[in-house]
């Protein structure tokens, strides 16, 4: 897998993506993610399967597996080393490819993405939205940095690598069958369960 549509894909598939694996996770972060997903999943019902777009080494999927041991899990991951870690874990189907090359062959009760839309070339976002929507049987969840208007932010000294915007608002406008079910914010200064100022949006097909 060497031909990519965007430079952002090559960035995460390559050396920077390899180095990123070493920054994940810490036990405290996993605990915070458990608290986050407890809030999200409390608003759902009947979720027996889930797919994560851009799973990295599976921090979120590990939390879901801990909460729901029988849940059928799938992971799309562009980075070879991260995909290998997922394979070694053995609790999820691993789809080693770019999300821009992914074509859903089935639907999952929950399709979600966390900290990935912010790194997608903005011109390609509609394609990702379409794939998330197509992969979801009922719920779509976005966990990203939020900004009411599109803005680019320098990312670890790199330009063209981090973009904030109202991702959920764009999906709700794009798909008339989606409704906003709940949303929330996780503050980096939370005394018990801090995460990196993430905003989450849970949407449901109707």
User: Cβ neighbours of residue 128 under 8 Å, at least 6 residues apart?
Assistant: 53, 99, 100, 113, 117, 120
pLDDT tens digits, one per residue of 158-168: 777 899 999 99
pLDDT tens digits, one per residue of 124-136: 999 999 999 999 9
Q: Which domains does the chain have, with CATH numbers?
A: 7-205 (3.40.50.150)
Mean pLDDT, the chain, integer: 92
The reported pLDDT for the residue numbered 157 is 72
Nearest to 60 by CA among 141, 172, 160: 141
User: Cβ neighbours of residue 137 under 8 Å, at least 6 residues apart?
Assistant: 49, 107, 108, 109, 205
The reported pLDDT for the residue numbered 9 is 62
Residue 177 has pLDDT above 70, yes or no: yes
Residue 63 has pLDDT above 80, yes or no: yes
Residue 86 has pLDDT above 60, yes or no: yes
Least confident of 25-34, 82-91, 105-114: 25-34
């Amino acid at each position: 897998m060497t031909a990519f549509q965007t430079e952002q894909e090559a960035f995460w598939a390559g050396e920077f993506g390899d180095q990123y694996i070493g920054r994940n996770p810490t036990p405290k972060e996993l605990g915070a993610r458990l608290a986050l997903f407890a809030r999200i999943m409390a608003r759902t019902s009947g979720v027996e399967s889930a797919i994560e777009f851009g799973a990295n080494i599976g921090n979120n999927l590990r939390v879901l597996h801990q909460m729901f041991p029988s849940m059928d899990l799938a992971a799309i991951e562009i980075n070879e080393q991260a995909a290998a870690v997922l394979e070694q874990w053995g609790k999820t189907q691993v789809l080693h490819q770019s999300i821009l090359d992914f074509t859903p062959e089935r639907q999952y009760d929950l399709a979600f993405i966390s900290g990935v839309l912010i790194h997608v070339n903005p011109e390609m976002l509609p394609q990702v939205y379409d794939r998330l929507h197509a992969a979801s049987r009922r719920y779509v969840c976005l966990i990203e940095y939020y900004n009411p208007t599109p803005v680019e932010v320098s990312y670890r000294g790199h330009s063209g690598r981090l973009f904030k915007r109202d991702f959920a608002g764009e999906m709700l406008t794009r798909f008339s069958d989606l409704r906003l079910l709940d949303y929330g914010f996780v503050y980096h200064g939370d005394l018990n369960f801090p995460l990196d100022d993430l905003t989450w949006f849970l949407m449901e097909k109707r």
